[in-house]
Structure 1
Amino acid sequence: MSRIVNENDPRVQRTRQLLLQAFMDLVREKQNLHGISVQDITERARVNRSTFYAHFEDKYALVEDWLRGKFQRILAQKLPASSSLHADALATLLLSVFEFLALVRQHIRRSDQQFEPLFEQGIQQEIYELLLRWLTASAPGARKKERETTAQVISWAILGTAAQWSRGEQTISAQEMVRQVLPSVIAALSPLVIVPSR
């Protein structure tokens, strides 16, 4: 969780980007996350430790932010800001999650497995926020708490299914997994967004 009050301040954004860039450079050099310390990051970014902690609670928060940013960029490429809650958009979201987790698993080292819960939590949060945005637009009559709970449950269901699949041998393709999972996601959403026939 970031500790900066005004994240819209350009100076804050520049410093945060310096820290993230230093971290990415170190990942490329060291080929693992475990061996990178806050000291390494601050030395590479040429900032002091207190500046680091003004932006990130710890190294793990930076890692989560970094991975979440990567996933946000993928979603932005595949789902335009104007996208809404419909089957094609849901299928694209599901496929993005499955493919992204498979990619992360290809590059994660044994020493970095401690970071997996952070990766998954960051991705789940992105799925939740997107579903909540779609539900808010598609089901304005539903209670806010009902939309939030639905988005929470479905985001964890999507993440859990994709995480389990990505940890296995992936004998079923990501596309086939989407085909199998999509009807369940639509069914879970339907009480809020589909008016039942009378």
Structure 2
Amino acid sequence: MEKQQDPRVLRTRQLIRESFIELLQSIQFESITIKDIAQKATINRATFYTHYEDKYALLDEVIEQAFKEMIPEQVIHAEALTEEIGDQIILLTYRYIVDFHQTCRLDSKSIATLVDSQIKGMLQKTIEDILSKEKENHQYIEILAAITSSAIYSATYQWFRLEKNSHADLLLDIVRPYIMRGLSKQL
């Protein structure tokens, strides 16, 4: 039986996350202090440390929670990496990058590197889960997921940087065939 969390704990964690996100919109990550987060959340620093080890742990949770909330049910329950599922993953990744960069100031290289690394890892895990269902005993699932997720992330990030935000359908037309052809030769 799963242990129920205290609603007060859940509310406090939510308040901390929301305060942190608000701060990220106006202050660079490196400049945000635990004191800033605690003041914005109207809690004391000790309460912050009860819930999070540091602001990096908080950042990790914010990134992961936002990514998981964006994954369509169809992708979560996919039994194979079809073109439709691939399209959803490409668009999910692109929307996540756009949303995160619009919500948070990612001016510094260090935070951008942290965010990129975590997104790539979650994307790889999502693809690996799907490929594992499709070909249970394939010995190179991890490598194929790493290649596929890297290609999707790199293409969507580059698309974002080139400011082609209004043409996601063109992004799909470019990335989908590359991904699907590569996987079809390996699976």
Task: Name structure 1 gaps, 5 residues minimum.
Answer: 1-7, 194-198
The 10-residue stretch of structure 1 (55-64 or 107-116) with the greater mean CA deviation from structure 2: 107-116
Q: Conserved in 2, the CA contact under 8 Å of 1:42 and 1:52?
A: yes
Between 1:134-143 and 1:39-48, the stretch displaced more is 39-48
Q: 2:180 matched to 1:186?
A: yes
- Given residue 122 of structure 1, which amino acid in structure 2 is its aligned partner? Q
Moved more, 109-118 or 12-21: 12-21
Q: Separation in 2 of the partners of 1:142 and 1:13?
A: 43
Give the Cα separation in 2 of the matches to 1:30 and 1:81: 29
> Could you tell me the TM-score, scaled by structure 2's length?
0.78
1:83 aligns with 2:78: yes
Contact 1:75 1:96 in 2 (8 A): yes
Per the alignment, do residues 13 and 133 of structure 1 end up closer, same or farther by CA in structure 2, a change over 3 Å counting? farther
Secondary structure of 1:141's counterpart equals: coil
Partners of 2:147 and 2:117 in 1: CA distance: 13
Any residues of structure 2 matched to 1:161-176 within 5 Å, and which?
161-170=155-164, 173-176=167-170
1:18 equivalent among 6, 12, 16:
12
Asked if 2 retains the 8 angstrom alpha-carbon contact of 1:20 and 1:66, the reply is: no
Distance 1:187 1:80, change over 3 A: closer
Tell me by how many angstroms 1:41 deviates: 3.2
Q: Counterpart of 1:175 in 2: which secondary structure?
A: helix
Matched, 1:159 2:153: yes
Aligned partners of 1:71 and 1:100 also within 8 Å = yes
Residue 105 (str. 1) matches residue 119 (str. 2): no
Unaligned regions of 5+ residues in structure 2, if any? none
**Of 102, 111, 114, which residue of structure 2 is paired with 1:115?**
111
Cα distance in structure 2, aligned partners of 1:29 and 1:55: 18
Alignment of 1:53-92 (within 5 A): 56-76=52-72, 79=74, 81-84=76-79, 85-92=81-88
- Contact between 1:154 and 1:185, CA under 8 Å: does it hold in 2? yes
Displacement after TM superposition at 1:13 (Å): 9.3
Which letter maps to 1:149? I
Q: CA deviation at 1:154?
A: 1.3
Q: Which moved more, 1:104-113 or 1:177-186?
A: 104-113
The corresponding residue for 2:129 is: 133
Q: Deviations over 1:151-197 (max 9, x none)?
A: 1121111111111221222277122111110111112222343xxxx
Distance of 2:100 and 2:24 partners within structure 1: 17
- CA RMSD in angstroms comes to 3.0
Q: Distance in 2 between matches of 1:45 and 1:15?
A: 14
Question: Which range is displaced more, 88-97 or 61-70?
Answer: 61-70
Q: Would the aligned equivalents of 2:19 and 2:37 in 1 still touch at CA under 8 Å?
A: no
Aligned length: 182
